[in-house]
Amino acid sequence: MASELGNSKKAWSVLIVSTLAFTVCFMVWMMFGVIGIPIKKMLNLNATEFGLLAATPVLTGSLIRVPLGIWTDRYGGRIVMAILMATTIPAIWLMSYATVYWHFLVIGLFVGLAGGSFSVGTPYVARWFPKNRQGMAMGVYGAGNSGAAVNKFVAPVLLVAFGWAMVPQVYAVIMLGALVLFWLFSHSDPTHLVPSHVKFSDQLKLLKDPKVIKYCQYYSIVFGGYVALSLWMVQYYVGEFGLDIRVAALLAACFSLPGGALRAFGGVLSDKYGAHSVTWWVMWVSWVCLFLLSYPQTDFTILTVNGPATFHIGLNVYTFTALMFLLGIAWAFGKASVFKYISDDYGANIGAVSGIVGLAGGLGGFVLPIIFGVLMDVTGIRSSAFMFMYGVVWVSLLWMYWTEVRRTEVMGKNAAGALV
């Protein structure tokens, strides 16, 4: 009993301090979502160049997820997370000295390593809990996504008071403090490591598994879309509604905060109702929200018997924010439910599979802001970003129907026929 109590205390200590570390890492990862706006003005960037700037840290944070997940399986989450956080601190500090576009892109690649922390912490915390509570544990850890919202609260204040260069300097100090706390209060357990005879190549074979590919598609929406819109929304509010950057950041946090903080609740729901049920409803809610968000500001004139009548159709800032809030909640649940799939189907390889799926989600977060920028430069329509996301959700809904919903219906009919 004493041993179980001790393990329980260690498990919760690991979960709390890992979630704190991930929150800080995510805050740093999303830094360009706010400081990118004055940098865009300073460097006179177009929408595509801004999209690339905001997305550059997401690239390295995504590409490194697979090896980080595998190393976590092999060497343990405590040492891998600590080394990862320590590696990012010099790059974060150097960001304040960048002066030209390529400086920001190159340093951003190194800052982006912080985003790989997701694939370290997910298997690390999950293995401290029994299988029926792993969805909760991964959901709580994943709530560190709310670092995107923390960035929107902290960065504008520093930016207005001291200029954008102060933001990375303060973030470097915060990362150092988080690293110290993580090392002091985290623990290691050799029994959580994969057997030494399991080869690196064996774990990479999971890339060919059709279910893993499907989970990658789901996660590219609920996480990749979350990252992309977290980076895009502040400048969207400024451009679409003409808001001050502080007000824009506050309203953008209405999407980022529930999109991160409620992930823990999504994990609990996934434990209770199953990954499929939660993910299915998440996709439908996303489909409806993105359909409404896609409609651009429109003025049209109708010729009536009394002469021309002009009408305006478009979302005002309040309706837009309400829809983004609902979308953030849906994606918070979706991020948790996708990883519940993983813990159910790949318990022995959570690190490798979470790295692969996390890579897909992160690449979505890298590619989408660039696509958003290109679409806006080509069409001149800001809501084209939501139009594109609407199409991506359609793909996932169809894929999910034919591989899960339809198959379940067919199996049910076959079982009923066998009974008759």
213 Cβ partners below 8 Å, 6+ apart?
none
For 309, the 3-state DSSP assignment is: strand
For 299, the 3-state DSSP assignment is: strand
Model confidence at 237, in pLDDT bands (50, 70, 90)?
very high
134 pLDDT higher than 90: no
- pLDDT at position 197, please? 56
**Distance spanning both ends of the chain, measured CA to CA:** 51
For the packed helices 117-126 and 77-94, what is the interaxial angle rounded to 10 degrees? 160
- pLDDT at position 54, please? 87
**Domain-located, residue 219:** yes
**Domain-located, residue 197:** no
Per-residue pLDDT tens digits for 35-67:
988 999 999 999 889 889 988 998 898 888 888
Q: Is the dihedral angle over the CA atoms 36, 40, 46, 49 positive or is it negative?
A: negative
**Domain-located, residue 248:** yes
Neighbours of 418 (CB within 10 A): 7
Per-residue pLDDT tens digits for 143-198:
888 888 888 889 998 988 899 999 999 999 999 999 999 999 998 888 777 665 55
Q: How far apart are CA 202 and CA 195, in angstroms?
A: 12
Residue among 233, 229, 212, 210 nearest 330 (CA): 229
CATH of the domain at 272: 1.20.1250.20
> Which phi and psi (to 5°) does residue 46 adopt?
-85, 180
**Cα radius of gyration rounded to whole Å, the chain:** 22
- For the chain, the domain total comes to 1
Structure tokens at 402: 């034919």
**Domain-located, residue 198:** no
Structure tokens at 155: 């960065």
293 sits in which H/E element:
helix 275-294
414 pLDDT higher than 90: no
Model confidence at 1, in pLDDT bands (50, 70, 90)?
very low
- pLDDT at position 418, please? 47
The residue written with tokens 């709580």 in the block is 140
Q: How far apart are CA 146 and CA 357, in angstroms?
A: 20
Q: How far apart are CA 229 and CA 58, in angstroms?
A: 13
Structure tokens at 413: 């009919």
Name which residue leads in pLDDT, 202 or 296: 296
Q: Say what percent of the chain tops pLDDT 70.
A: 90
**Domain-located, residue 52:** yes
Mean pLDDT of the chain: 85
For 116, the 3-state DSSP assignment is: helix
**Domain-located, residue 191:** no
Name which residue leads in pLDDT, 386 or 256: 386
Q: How far apart are CA 89 and CA 43, in angstroms?
A: 25
417 pLDDT higher than 80: no
- Written as one string, the DSSP assignment of 42-55 is HHT--HHHHHHHHH
207 pLDDT higher than 70: no
Structure tokens at 64: 């490194």
- pLDDT at position 83, please? 95
33 pLDDT higher than 80: yes
- pLDDT at position 139, please? 80
The mean pLDDT value for 9-19 works out to 91
CA angle, 399 then 117 then 79, to 5°: 135
The two beta strands, 307-313 and 298-304, are antiparallel
- pLDDT at position 5, please? 42
In order of 59, 67, 165, 183, 398, the CA distances from 98 in angstroms are 19, 29, 9, 31, 45
Answering whether pTM is above 0.95, one says: no
CA angle, 166 then 240 then 322, to 5°: 90
- pLDDT at position 420, please? 47
Tell me which residue range forms the domain holding 264: 2-186+203-414
Per-residue pLDDT tens digits for 342-354:
877 776 666 677 7
**Domain-located, residue 40:** yes
The mean pLDDT value for 91-101 works out to 94
Q: How is residue 402 annotated by DSSP?
A: I
